[in-house]
Structure formats: C-alpha cells, structure tokens
Structure 1
C-alpha cells in the first residue's frame, strides 16, 4: 500500500468521523430548541406566531452549523491539501 492510498483511507475515515461528531451538536441543539418551543407554546398559546417565527430562525441558524461541517469535510475529501506533499515533483 502506497502512502497515497493510506492518505486517502485515513482522510476518508476522518471525514466520516468529523461528519458524525459535527452533526451531533446541531441535532442536540435542535431537539432542545423544539422542546423549549413546545413548552413555551403550552404555557402561552396566544404567543404562537412569535414563538414559531423565532423557532424557525433559530433552527435555520443551527442547521447552518451542520452545513458548514459538511462543506469543510467535502473540501478536505475532494481537495485534500496534504496530497501536495505526497505527489512527486
């Protein structure tokens, strides 16, 4: 096995691990925010529009964190900066 094969295998494994860890945080945050929004709706049903608007804005911000993780992992997978050190020349 060449060093290039090893780099591809290791970077793929690390990318999978990064996606797994990078999505856990936003998933927990989304669950907690939805739980809190439902709790607030149960306490004050008349404030439904305000709560739902704020909830959706917050969920969009939380989801952007998971998208940033995906973008960084795809950049590392398809344009790995470490490959330059292994290529001859």
Structure 2
C-alpha cells in the first residue's frame, strides 16, 4: 500500500510539472487531485466489518478470525480478497506476526 501511494504521488507530481508547462490544462490537474483525495479516502476508510465477514465466513473459528482480521484491517486499511491467502495484495497484512512468528492476520 505504501508503494502504491508513492507511485501515485510521483505520477501526480509529474503531471503537475507537465501542467505547469502547459497552463491551459489546469482543469485536468484539479480533477486528478480530487480523484487522488477520493482514492486515499476510500483506502483509509474501508468497511472492516464487512470485509472481515467476507474473509472469515468459512473459518472453523469465525469469531477469532473476525477479531484478528479486524485488528489487521484497522492497522493496514486493507483486507486481501478471497477467504484465504492472497497476502501479496496487502503487504502490511502479510507482515504482521504473532509472538510465535506466525501470521497474525487470517
């Protein structure tokens, strides 16, 4: 997630520089800034309860799974797709471990 923010920010900065050179495209820059703010808002405020219900509905211990998933979702602002694995979609989610070194997040 941090890499995608850096990539998006660098794209926006390069577009800003391009728009400063061509001043007749100020409208496009304002549209991109609005889109960027919406993207950040969406990523920061996902519905963790719904996402964790989706992720944990097949678990043998759904309450435990939802509690761990909720903690991970609050900290990472993302939940991988599917009901298992797909950790590469959310590196923060993957890197959280318990004291034993196992994955904290389901």
**Which TM-score tier does this pair reach, normalised by the shorter chain?**
0.3 to 0.5
Question: What's the TM-score once normalised by structure 2's chain length?
Answer: 0.41
Structure of greater Rg:
1
